[in-house]
Every structure is written in structure tokens, then in C-alpha cells.
Structure 1
């Protein structure tokens, strides 16, 4: 009797595992922490697993064009998923906005920034970090801010450019730049700054950072890809996304 019960449990376990799939997700670097939290909940709730690769949106786009095995893209903009869609590399009708990002000027030094543009305009720093505006939408937004404030020329010789927003954050966190532009989600959680000091940029200083998701052609027949994007639209994911300072 015990042997029969054990055998039934073994069959059930094999059947459950057979239903579980893995999804390869390309993720814009600004969304690293929220994605890790969402993936953990998704795996618990669905049994599917997420394999994530993080980078600048432009870099991820190039990798997708060159045949990378990604099945879902979580972009830092709306234009890249739209471009992939128009090129036939996305699943038609699967594109949607999963978050609206916020840009922040951040320093690892408490008190360096006072919640305004004063320190930026004072121009007393040696280095100002940004992400590469050619590949990172948050870097592009940073250049728009500098232009709006009339500071483009004044800071030109002080810019330290990272390949992605994660690299820009690294420059500031390690002291290689006194301050810089990063995603709010990288330095903020549950309504408060995690460390240092900051100025959250007013939305009117740059174009909206609308972040779109897209199921890629390689994920068209993977049930885990559909399940993951559906989960991203749900209440549990929304609460996590909001906790990192994003709008929905």
C-alpha cells in the first residue's frame, strides 16, 4: 500500500514538473531589483522559472537582432519593443506598458543633494555620471534634463558615461562620480531613499520614460512566457513595481 502511494506521488511530481517551463527574459537594467522580486513570487505561484539577463535596452535590442534566445523583453522605453514588433521579431498584440519610470539625480553622500537642482547648477563636482544615451533610455532622459536646465556645455567635460544605468550607479556608489542620473528604482524602495541623497526629477524636464514589455517570437509557443507577462499585469506584480517608485 505504501509503495503504491509513493508511486502515485512520484507520478504526480513528474507530471507537475513536466508542466513547469522556463522563460528567458531580457530586462532593462533599471528594472533589476523589481524583476528579481517579481520573478521569485511568479516562480512560487506558477511553478515556472525565470532566467533573466540584464543590460541597457540598446544592447539587449542588438542581442535580440543577432539571435539571442530571449523570449520576453522588458524594455526601458516604448520605441524598442515597437521596433522589434514592426520587424516581425515580436508576437503581435503582446506589447504593453508595464511601468512608467522616474529619473533621479543621486549622490552616495548624505546631504550632498538637498532635493533640488542647487548642487547640479553649482557645478562644484569633478564627475557627473550618466548612462550612455545611445543605448540607455534613462541616459537619454538625463541629456534632456541637462539641455532643459542649460547645463549641457557646462558639464560636458565632467561626464562619466556607463554602458547601462547599472554602470552609472556603480560610478556614483564607488565615489568615481560625486553624483549622477540613475533610475529612482535603483535607490528607492517602499517610499524612501535607501541611501545617500537625491533630487527626483520633475516629469516635465524629460520625455516620459514609458517602459514596454513584448513577448518575442522565440517565446511565442512557451506557456511560461505568456504566464509571466500576464503575471506582470497582476496585482502582486503591480504592488512590487510601485514599491520601487514606478508609476503604472
Structure 2
């Protein structure tokens, strides 16, 4: 009987060890702050990442400027996907981000959009007296808002349009203002409307605004977190890059800066 019990225990131990070997190694979670324009792509990327590694990614969305402030005030984020390149670089310089972890994960594109067909026909749309409200996001906190202001200034229309501007806290809110009819048109991210078949849009020419280079950084709070580091590695890989391109972003060869 004792021999049988010993055999059962050995078999259980072997099965347990085999189970551990087949499970994702040390599955963990990482807290990631994400610029609002990248909401839908990162949801897909996080799901693919979990399926491949077992690691969970806890996503928070908002304006890049607001996240930067929160991180400097000891917010618990471990990874930051910004809508610009300046803030991740600054966090690394300030010791809140891991040196040499900064890289460009996407280059965004600005569009002028209406939920109604035939409304947006190009830059001339901005000159129409019938347009009462134009939605943008906060240019101080959100790079897409800054790009919208640059565009209007380049077209020499900013002073005329300023009284018509409806400002959202982030790009999601700017989109919602148009979607709900609180503004007839708005400057939004291409990724937000790339699947829209009913509305109308104008791809703002790149020469009217500075490139929206979106950088990621591993924050100091995530330096010892295997899931945080693995997520950034996954973000550089072909599966993530295909998702990013699908949503209308450009991708560059990842290169630490």
C-alpha cells in the first residue's frame, strides 16, 4: 500500500510539473497609460499579447499631457504610450522613464471629419459660413489638438475659426462632439474614422502640421516587471505592427532613442 501511495504521489508530481511547463511562464500584469487616439489598436494588441504570453495588460486612456502630469505625481503606470515624442523623452531624462527604452511605435494622421456624407470636401469646408462649430482636442495636452491648430494657422484660418472651436479634453471627446452633433466637423485621428463608411473626411496634408510621432517608454515603476517589458517587445513585433497599420498609422523601424 505504501508503495502504491508513493507511486500516486510521484505521478501527481509529474503531472503538476507538466502543467506548469505548459502554462505561460510567470503570467503577470502591467499597467499601461495610452494616448486616447490609440484606443482601438491597443485593445487588439493587448488581446493578442495575452493570447500569446498569458500576461494581462491593464489599459488607461486619456490625453498625453494629462498622463505626463500624473506620472510625475507618482501615478502607478508602468508603460506609457504617448501621442508625441517629447513627453516620453522628457520622462526618461527626468529619471521617471527607463533610459534607452524610448521608441516610436506609430506615426499618426490627422483628418477633418463629419459624420454626414458630403459635408467635408477639403480645406474649403473650414471657410464655409454655415459651419458653426469645429471640434478639436486640447492642444496643450493632446498632440492631435496641437496639429489641428498648426493646420488652421498654416491655412491662415485660425483667427476666423477660433470663435467656432469646441475643445475636448482628449481626441476621444473631440470625436464624440462630432458624433453627437455638438459640432458639424472636427479634427480627429484617422484611426478613429478609418472604418466609417457613412461620413465624409479630408486627410489633412502632412505639410500643414508637424509629424505626429507617437513614442512609448518603459517607466521606472515597470523596470522590474517582466510583463511590462514583454509588452513593449511585443509592440515592436510584426503582429502588432500589422494591427497598427490596419488602423491607418504609419510604422517605422523601431529604434531606441
- Tell me if both proteins adopt one fold, taking TM over 0.5 as the criterion: yes
1:104 aligns with 2:111: yes
Deviation of residue 195 (structure 1)? 3.8
Distance of 1:62 and 1:194 partners within structure 2: 37
Deviation at 1:123, TM superposition (A): 3.5
2 CA distance for matches of 1:9 and 1:48?
23
Is 2:189 aligned against 1:188? no
Q: Please name the residue that 2:138 is paired with.
A: 132
Q: Confirm or deny: 8 A CA contact 2:104 2:216 kept in the other structure.
A: yes
Q: Is the 8 A contact 1:123 1:155 kept in 2?
A: no
TM-score (norm 2): 0.90
194 and 13 in structure 1: CA distance in 2 versus 1, 3 angstrom threshold? farther
Of 179, 189, 194, the match for 1:173: 179
Count of paired positions: 244
Looking at structure 1, the residues matched to 8 and 193 of structure 2 have their Cα atoms a distance apart, in angstroms, of 54
Structure 1 Cα separation of the partners of residues 198 and 19 of structure 2: 45
Aligned-pair distance for 1:113? Answer: 1.2
User: What is the CA–CA distance in structure 2 between the aligned matches of 1:124 and 1:6, rounded to whole Å?
Assistant: 76
- Bigger radius of gyration, 1 or 2? 2
1: CA distance, partners of 2:164 / 2:14: 67
- Let me know the Cα RMSD of the aligned residues: 1.8
Greater shift in the superposed pair: 76-85 or 194-203? 194-203
Question: Are the aligned partners of 1:128 and 1:180 in contact in 2 as well (CA < 8 Å)?
Answer: yes
Counterparts of 1:194 and 1:187 in 2: how far apart (Å)?
9
Q: Over residues 183-237 of structure 1, what are the superposed CA-to-partner deviations in whole Å (9 max), with x where a residue is unaligned?
A: 1101114xxx444110011100000100000000000000111110010010000
Q: Which residue of 2 aligns with 1:225?
A: 228
Q: Do structure 1's residue 35 and structure 2's residue 38 form an aligned pair?
A: no
Extract unaligned runs of 5+ from structure 1: none
Whether contact under 8 Å (2:24, 2:53) holds in the other structure is: no
The range that moved more, 123-132 or 34-43, is: 123-132
Map of 2:71 onto structure 1: 64
- Mark the runs of 5 or more structure 2 residues left unpaired by the alignment: 1-6, 252-257
